[in-house]
Structure 1
Amino acid sequence: MVYVPLMPQRLTGGMMRMAWRRFDQSAASLGRIGSLEVRLARSSEEVKQAQRLRYRVFYEEMSAVANARAAFFGRDADPYDKICDHLLVLDHDAPEGPEIVGTYRLLRQEIAERRKGFYSSGEFQVAPLIDRHAGRSFLELGRSCVLKPYRTKRTVELLWHGIWSYVRRNDIDVMIGCASLEGTDPRRLAPLLGFLRSYAPTPEEWRVKALPGRGVPLDAMSAEPVNGIKVLRELPPLIKGYLRLGAYICEEAVVDWQFGTTDVFIVLPLERINTRYINYYGPDASRYAA
């Protein structure tokens, strides 16, 4: 594997990294396309708006099962929301003023280690991966969703531009997290799971296993040859995006009964990222800079 030099500022020592940290990241716009802007949440009210968007997508549109509190408030919320950064896409031309139309939840390793750990540790054995790569900085991505009318190329591009900006500004080395296939029957999802296993196999140093008793091997039920073109059409856009970037898909899936999904674990070291995307967004995340 050839290491791709992603950050020219690393060559100038710590000066650029110090400059990034001298301002409040939440105050800065991370990118803009027309009326759409990507940035971090700036207030608890904006976090609540992101939670309402997640509720609309996960519980009202998809098949997540709400507890009494979530149903009463109409928000998808958990304790991790208090320690994460919340990436937002806002439409400034929405009829009633700026509206949050997309979100991603970001949890840095330094915060996770001081608080509750990584959210994905509730399904996967993340700690051995971190220990094998001591000295590298990890970022967990999760709770991604976009309002249905905004599921377009430019909204997705802005979300990724925001993540890329965040990664650059925080010296992240590896992105991790769960990605979901809708449905809780791994047998029905076998063609998709088998394709992921064969398309993006994970080398030993990056493997992450499910918690004991939770894992379903991705290729356990793939009895027939997989039609790759058909499967690619059926994969969720988020997972297809990870594959295009160069992510590894670990060997086991976990059924999430609350959200009605089957989750796979994603590992994306920055040196794996396809140089086409680095050039597209810019090594310094300048393509859609506001």
Structure 2
Amino acid sequence: MLSFAKGRYRARTALGPEDLEAAQRLRALAFRGPDASRPDTDDFDAACTHVLVEEARSGDLVCCFRLLHLGSGAEIGRSYSAQFYELSALADFDGPMVEMGRFCIHPDWRDPDILRVAWGAMTEYVDRQGVEMLFGCSSFHGIEAREYYDAFALLRDRHIAPKRWLPRVKAPAVFRFASRLRRKPDLKRAQAKMPPLLRTYLLMGGWVSDHAVIDRDLGTLHVFTGLEIRAVPPARARLLRAVAG
């Protein structure tokens, strides 16, 4: 069972139906807004380990995410991401993989330590399970790509996946930012518009697909994101483990 605490917050594995329902309610609030009529659920929940981040004193749920463990890339078709991206290139990845999904922070909580604790818990899980790649869909709020042109231009210039792993287009509605954007990114604006989770992936040497999927169900744009643990630069690996320490 995963258990990690630092400062005001603690992260732990969901223990039963009540914990899972609390995570699904938070997901509905974060992705679908305060008027969501029911919890956010899907068929992948049953196959995943769910992680809750709580404010230690009150027990308030402030963040959640789920983890799907795959023995190797040969199982990539089981992932949530495989619904949206053609991932056959990753079938050759020979180590254990984990998909991080449905990551969200309660909209009323803006403490950056929440994200740090979530990454600390993830690092503990990676080390304990011998994970060699993290991946998932990193979401931008809303479906209007124009709002994020600078962020997408920065991804195009610096962070596209290596050719050997590059996801191909599968979803019916996508924004092909790598081939269609011609602008030079405004770096300050790009960083301001980059989702915090994606920003952390990139800090550790992560990479993204060359297109964003337009997900009208959740009201997001998302990019496939991968992070090869063995390719993380040593200084950045120490930084990540310092967060967990």
Superposition TM-score, scaled by structure 2 size: 0.90
Note closer, same or farther for the CA distance 1:212–1:286 as it changes in structure 2 (3 Å cut). closer
1:192 CA displacement: 2.2
Bigger radius of gyration among the two:
1
Matched, 1:189 2:148: yes
The offset of 1:279, in angstroms, is 1.7
Corresponding residue for residue 140 of structure 1: 99
Do the aligned residues in 1 keep the contact of 2:117 with 2:244 (CA within 8 Å)?
no
Amino acid at match of 2:150: P
Structure 1 residues 137 and 129, CA, compared in 2 at 3 Å: closer, same or farther? farther
Alignment of 1:93-242 (within 5 A): 93-94=57-58, 98-110=59-71, 117-126=78-87, 128-133=88-93, 135-211=94-170, 213-242=172-201
Percentage of pairs with the same residue: 23
Classify 1:81/1:115 alpha carbon distance in 2 versus 1 (closer, same or farther; 3 Å).
farther
CA displacement, residues 144-170 of structure 1 (integer Å, 9 cap, x when unaligned): 111134332211111001111111111
Mapped contact 1:123–1:214 kept (Cα < 8 A) = no
Out of 29, 33, 56, the residue aligned to residue 92 of structure 1 is 56
Cα deviation, residue 275, structure 1: 2.9
Task: Provide the secondary structure at the position in 2 that maps to 1:168.
Answer: helix
Bigger RCO (CA 8 Å, 6+ sep): 1
One-letter amino acid of the counterpart of residue 51, structure 2: L
Q: How many residues align?
A: 245
Q: Distance in 2 between matches of 1:162 and 1:275?
A: 19
In structure 1, which of residues 53, 76, 79 is the aligned counterpart of residue 40 of structure 2? 76
State the match for 2:211 in structure 1: 252
- Paired letter, 1:129: A
State the secondary structure of the residue aligned to 2:53: strand
Q: Which moved more, 1:110-119 or 1:270-279?
A: 110-119
Specify the SS of the correspondent of 1:148: coil
- 1:82 shift after superposition: 0.9
Aligned mates of 2:229, 2:185 — CA distance in 1: 29
CA deviations over 1:26-54 (Å, ceiling 9, x no partner) = xx42x212341111111121011111111
Question: Aligned equivalents of 1:75 and 1:233: distance in 2?
Answer: 30
Alignment partner of 2:33: what SS? helix
Is 1:32 matched with 2:8? no
Comparing 192-201 and 49-58, the one that deviates more: 192-201
Deviations 1:204-229 (A, max 9, x none): 11211120644432234323322122
Per the alignment, in what secondary structure is the counterpart of residue 136 of structure 1? coil
Q: Indicate if the aligned counterparts of 1:38 and 1:159 stay in contact, CA closer than 8 A.
A: yes
Unmatched segments (≥5 aa) in structure 1: 1-24
8 Å contact from structure 1 (residues 39, 87) kept in 2: yes
8 A contact 2:27–2:40 mirrored in 1 = yes
- Mark the runs of 5 or more structure 2 residues left unpaired by the alignment: none
Cα distance in 2 between the residues matched to 1:114 and 1:140: 11
